[in-house]
Structure 1
Amino acid sequence: MAGILGILAFDEVWNVSKFLYYGLIGLQHRGYSRSGIAILSKDRNISIKSENVAPEDLEIREMRGWAGIGYAGIRHSYPLLFDNSAVVVDGPVKDISIFKQLMKDPEKTIEESIKEPITFIALSKDGQLIAYRDELGLKPLSLGGFGFDLAIISSEPTAMYVIGAELKREIKPGELVIIDKYHLESRQVKTPKKAYCTIEYVYQARIDSIVNEREIYDLRVKIGEELAIEYPIEADSVIGVPETALPFAIGYSRKLNLPLDLGFTRTGSPIRTMLASDAFLKIIGVQLKLNPIKSAVKGKRIVLIDDSMVTGTTLKNTIFNLRKLGAKEVHVLIGSPKLISQCPYGVEVPDEKELISANLDDKTIARVLGADSINWLSLEGLFKVVGHTNLCLGCMTKKYPW
């Protein structure tokens, strides 16, 4: 998983470094352990800063330039610098040398050399932004602007929101976009084979985002309503795990006319435990972001809704804390189908042997977690909410589109 960003000013008097910095903060929900920025100066030199830190901790005070690209991720160190360009990538790349010839003939390079479903943004020393979205549309990519002054390309429009920019449209699967100071050019390089990543809808995208023409907040509220149809539970309170699952809980409570409680408060910086690099951080991440509110749970039958479940470690700890504060019952609902297989496309879904849903039956999982019951959104329910079946479901069905 990664967030990528490109900004180009139409006048070289601009310094876009702070726009890149704050834009990356608007994308760090997609990856916060590694970040980097590449800046093009007036003398046509590209400078790079890349560190194993969250975007908000990246030091950029000495960086100045009128165009640049940025990266917020987990496992890779971007941007990569070549003789005449720099590039940031969302997705697995087997051979980075394919980008060496990119600026000479972008269309030919994509058609002949790119064999994986990757999305990227490149910056040339000549002052071009070149962006491409994989033909499946697995990785989101959007185009926007800041008045008539800046062109912006980012994984999600959340990077635009934080700097006051405007979303124009989403880049299509298989589409190549080339921007310089004078024009914007678009080419459909590969035929779209639409297989949108399901994890984007249920977990990855920020709740105020738009992905594949879907308002994420509205979609997740509908997931909560669908969970209520599939699993109506007698309870005293509905609680969503912050931040992603809160809309699920809203939809569920509305549909069944059950009280909705906040349930948790947070200390420290938000940590997305699915993206955490080790077991210790996963546990600490739960303690930092999920501190139960005693009066919201004591003596109550709780419906606890989460967006997904990987190993079950964080959810087990959460349920333990709810029990400790006096929850009478805890019924767990997951706003996605079961995760049973790893993702080869860069989403942080681990090997099958680590996935609790792939190895245990429902009753055993509930017992291991300390829950009274556990249920998952059905595939049919997912299709109903999204409105189509053009989805990558590899981590849920072991059937991959690529």
Structure 2
Amino acid sequence: MAGIIGVYAFDKIWNVSKFLYYGLIGLQNRGYSYSGLVVLKDNFKAITNEGAPEDITLPSDIDGWAGVGYTGSKISYPIITDYGTLVVDGIIKGDIQEIAKGLYKEPEKTLRDIQGVFSLIFLSKDGRLIGYRDSYGIKPLEIGGFGFDLAILSSETSGITVIGGEFRREIKPGEAVFIDTYQISYTQVEESKHNYCAIDLIYQSRIDGFVFNRYIYETRVKIGEQLAEEKRIDADVVIGVPDTALPFAIGYSKRTGIPYDLGFTRTGSPIRTMLASDDFLKVIGVQLKLNPIKSVVKGKRVILIDDSMVTGRTLKNTVFSLRSLGAKEVHVLIGSPKLISRCPYGMEVPEEKDLIAANLTDEEIAKVIGADSIYWLSLEGLYKVLGKSLCVGCMTKKYPRVI
């Protein structure tokens, strides 16, 4: 998973390095193991960091009127070539140097020929910015601006709005945007196939975002309401796992009338355990981001809602924490269908052997994590909320594109 951003100033007096830096901080929900940015003035200057964007230190001499940035799990990005610099969200096949050469010389043909599932941003050595989503549209890409001065490409609207930009619209699947000193133009390179990533909507995107032409907060509230339609539980309080699952809990509470409350407060950095790079952080990360509030759960029958379940380790620790603070019952609801297969497109869903829902029954999982019961959103319920133009390969083992 990755967040990518490109910023282009129409007047070369601008320095876009801080726009890129803060835009990347707004995208680090998409991955934070490795980050970096490249700016163009007379030539390319790069800063890379093994860690989150917020840990980057910008040198005083980093200056450029256009640039791109990356935050995610691939140590190879951003890539500077003889023809320009490239950042990618997703998986592409082929020699990067040859792809960059093609994007510089024959961009439309090259975009049509690239194999993979991806969104990309390419800044050429002569100062042209290209953004593109492959025709399946599994990875998002948005465009916005800062008045008439800057154009901004970003994986999510958060990369645009946190730097004061105004969101314009989503780049369509199979569509390319070309930005130079004089204009912004769009070309439909390939026919749209529309297979949006269900996990991006359920988990990956920020709750204040607009992705795949949907408001994330509103979408997750509806998923919570759908959970209430499918599985009503007699309980005293509904709580959600911050931050992604809070709207699910709000929706469930609205539909059932069971009071919603804030079950956790943060301690330390906002760790996203699905994205964590080592097993220790996956376990201890739940304590860093989820410290339960005793008065909310003590002596109560608790409904705990989370966005997904991968290995079960995070939820096991969370349920244990609630029990230790006196929760009378803990019923777990999951705002996605079961994850039973890996993602070949770059989402951090591991192999089937590591996925708890692919290997144990519901009763066994409830016992392992210490819950009184567990329930996952049905695939039919997911389609009811999101429609069927989705990639749900990690839930069904049926993938829209072979790469």
Which TM-score tier does this pair reach, normalised by the shorter chain? over 0.9
SS at match of 2:93: coil
CA deviation map 1:139-186 (0-9, x unaligned): 100010000000000000101111110000000000111101101111
1:383, distance to aligned residue in structure 2 (A): 0.9
Q: Which amino acid aligns with 1:107?
A: E
SS at match of 1:107: helix
Quote the residue 2:333 is aligned against.
333
Runs of 4+ in 1 over 4 A off after TM superposition: none
Quote the residue 2:236 is aligned against.
236
1:102, distance to aligned residue in structure 2 (A): 1.3
SS at match of 2:91: coil
Quote the residue 1:52 is aligned against.
50
CA deviation map 1:25-81 (0-9, x unaligned): 00000011110101001x2x0111112120011122231000000001013331101
CA deviation map 1:2-25 (0-9, x unaligned): 000000001000000000000000
Q: Which amino acid aligns with 1:51?
A: N
Quote the residue 1:107 is aligned against.
108
- Note the 1:198-209 alignment, pairs <5 A: 198-209=198-209
Q: Which residues of structure 1 form unaligned runs of 5+? A: none
Following the alignment from structure 1 to structure 2, what is the Cα–Cα distance between the partners of residues 119 and 164?
23
Quote the residue 2:65 is aligned against.
66
Following the alignment from structure 1 to structure 2, what is the Cα–Cα distance between the partners of residues 340 and 278?
21
Q: Which residues of structure 2 form unaligned runs of 5+? A: none
Q: TM-score normalized by structure 2?
A: 0.98
Q: Which amino acid aligns with 2:342?
A: Q
- Note the 1:203-352 alignment, pairs <5 A: 203-352=203-352
C-alpha RMSD of matched pairs (Å):
0.8
Q: TM-score normalized by structure 1?
A: 0.98
CA deviation map 1:273-322 (0-9, x unaligned): 01011210011110100011111111100000000000000000000010
Following the alignment from structure 1 to structure 2, what is the Cα–Cα distance between the partners of residues 313 and 239?
19
Quote the residue 2:395 is aligned against.
396
Following the alignment from structure 1 to structure 2, what is the Cα–Cα distance between the partners of residues 192 and 37?
30
Quote the residue 1:190 is aligned against.
190
Following the alignment from structure 2 to structure 1, what is the Cα–Cα distance between the partners of residues 395 and 338?
6
Following the alignment from structure 1 to structure 2, what is the Cα–Cα distance between the partners of residues 125 and 354?
43
1:84, distance to aligned residue in structure 2 (A): 2.1
1:100, distance to aligned residue in structure 2 (A): 2.7
Q: Which amino acid aligns with 2:72?
A: G
Quote the residue 1:171 is aligned against.
171
CA deviation map 1:80-119 (0-9, x unaligned): 011120000011233223223211011111122x011121
Quote the residue 1:26 is aligned against.
26
Identity across aligned pairs (percent)?
A: 66
Q: Is the 8 A contact 1:36 1:77 kept in 2?
A: no
Following the alignment from structure 1 to structure 2, what is the Cα–Cα distance between the partners of residues 297 and 36?
42
1:339, distance to aligned residue in structure 2 (A): 0.1
SS at match of 1:331: strand
Following the alignment from structure 1 to structure 2, what is the Cα–Cα distance between the partners of residues 160 and 271?
22
Q: Is the 8 A contact 1:4 1:89 kept in 2?
A: yes
Q: Is the 8 A contact 1:35 1:77 kept in 2?
A: no
Following the alignment from structure 2 to structure 1, what is the Cα–Cα distance between the partners of residues 134 and 318?
37
